[in-house]
A = this chain, B = another copy of it.
Amino acid sequence: VYLNPEKADQLIWLRARVHTSRAKGKQCFLVLRQQQFNVQALVAVGDRASKQMVKFAANITKESIVDVEALVRKVEQKIESCSQQDVELHIERIFVISQAEPRLPLQLEDAVRPDGEGEEEGRATVNQDTKLDNRVIDLRTTTSQAIFRLQSGVCQLFRDTLTKKGFVEIQTPKIISAASEGGANVFTVSYFKTSAYLAQSPQLYKQMCICADFDKVFCVGPVFRAEDSNTHRHLTEFVGLDIEMAFNYHYHEVIDSITDTMVQIFKGLRDNFQTEIQTVNKQFPSEPFKFLEPTLRLEYTEALAMLHEAGVEMGDEDDLSTPNEKLLGRLVKEKYDTDFYVLDKYPLAVRPFYTMPDPSNPKYSNSYDMFMRGEEILSGAQRVHDAQLLTERAMHHQIDLEKIKAYIDSFRYGAPPHGGGGIGLERVCMLYLGLHNVRQTSMFPRDPKRLTP
């Protein structure tokens, strides 16, 4: 609804939901809603409406869908409670298109109330499980509408940026015959007379496309992790934004492509999704997301030095714990004023077998993670592209060579040096918006305890 004073005194038809309704003597005040917009409407006994019609309007249940014919009227005093503040509708005809049941499982105004607000007046907020159990209603709130419109924007910005850079979109299979990363945390599918697995990432297939001369590829699709983690940031099914590319001289070409893509996403959101960002902020306040150009790249050893200085005790080849990642995020923010950075050159020991060792120091590797507000959103690396070295690395990790034969064989007929990474869509949206649970940015989240709706 772009109802504004320019439409004043026009008769219009409108389909909308009944957001609220309040009868008052010979009048009935409705708030009509379309997505994130709403407008006040009035049915009053008079020339155009009978007493019966006012009664009929007053009895329409909240969330019902109606068609109304109404006169647009400018108002003297702004209607603060509506998005369309300068006009109201004088309803002449009203039809119920779809009637909502009278008892809603949750109230929209409760679902968007900031935590703690209105507690003294005994106003309710809605807990997350109730929201998710009744997602069809919860998704109607201004906050949800904004979150998922922004998410749609992230996907579009990701693809458009990469397409401009010459990347080709690929579609990779989700049902696979062997668990490429060893078999832990993988879902099993019954497949006719045999069994199969759900892909934990498209990595093997992205790499096969590089070996097949597609040069630079991306894909957007579900990835599956049978991890029994009940945290704010783990899902058993999430959307992976995946990148893989051949490079010429140095794997930092890959890092530069990915960080530039992230920066284009951040800029696109900042420039085109301000309304959505502000809508979410009303319920969940957060600082604007900060980033640098070019993106800050720290080496693992530098990060360790910062952590040591802050009193953390950990060894050179230890992996970062989640609390240390968060602490590091705060230290980096203080020192460099950025919410986004790359941590490069992880210890080889903490990375998967297909990670390329650092040629100048075998303790480290050509691998990196990327962080937003101190949480990991991408893990990536230069991959080993030589079948012989890959075999050695797999044996070092005590991986059954028979199970990864197809993977290793992909590199036997000429493979260019290449690298890439996988980004979690829901985490990017959560952290960009400063939210605190990945279930808020997954329309229909899946975790060990939730399979519905």
Chain A residues within CB distance 8 Å of chain B: 15, 17, 34-35, 63-65, 97-101, 104, 135-140, 144-145, 148-149, 151-152, 155-156, 159, 163, 168-177, 187-192, 194, 196, 198, 205, 208-209, 211-215, 220-222, 224, 226, 228, 236-237, 239, 248, 385-386, 406, 410-417, 425, 442-444, 446, 448, 451-453
Task: Determine if B169 and A236 form an interchain contact, defined as CB atoms under 8 angstroms apart.
Answer: no
Task: Determine if B188 and A412 form an interchain contact, defined as CB atoms under 8 angstroms apart.
Answer: no
A170 to B239, CA, bound (A): 11
A4 to B114, CA, bound (A): 64
Listed by A's residue number, 12 A-B pairs whose Cβ atoms lie within 8 Å are A17-B414, A63-B413, A98-B411, A100-B412, A139-B214, A140-B213, A149-B168, A171-B222, A174-B174, A175-B451, A189-B189, A410-B453
- Residues of B contacting A173 in the complex (Cβ-Cβ under 8 angstroms): 222, 237, 444, 446
- Residues of B contacting A138 in the complex (Cβ-Cβ under 8 angstroms): 212
A71 to B361, CA, bound (A): 37
Task: Determine if A451 and B97 form an interchain contact, defined as CB atoms under 8 angstroms apart.
Answer: no
Task: Determine if A139 and B188 form an interchain contact, defined as CB atoms under 8 angstroms apart.
Answer: no
- Residues of B contacting A15 in the complex (Cβ-Cβ under 8 angstroms): 248, 416
Task: Determine if B175 and A148 form an interchain contact, defined as CB atoms under 8 angstroms apart.
Answer: no
Task: Determine if B140 and A212 form an interchain contact, defined as CB atoms under 8 angstroms apart.
Answer: yes
Question: Which residue of chain B has its CB nearest to the CB of A67?
Answer: B248
A237 to chain B, nearest CB (A): 5
Task: Determine if A168 and B139 form an interchain contact, defined as CB atoms under 8 angstroms apart.
Answer: no
Task: Determine if A139 and B212 form an interchain contact, defined as CB atoms under 8 angstroms apart.
Answer: yes
A43 to chain B, nearest CB (A): 19
Task: Determine if A406 and B139 form an interchain contact, defined as CB atoms under 8 angstroms apart.
Answer: no
- Residues of B contacting A187 in the complex (Cβ-Cβ under 8 angstroms): 175, 189-191
- Residues of B contacting A224 in the complex (Cβ-Cβ under 8 angstroms): 174-175
* Given A156-B169, A171-B151, A239-B171, A443:B205 Cβ within 8 A: yes
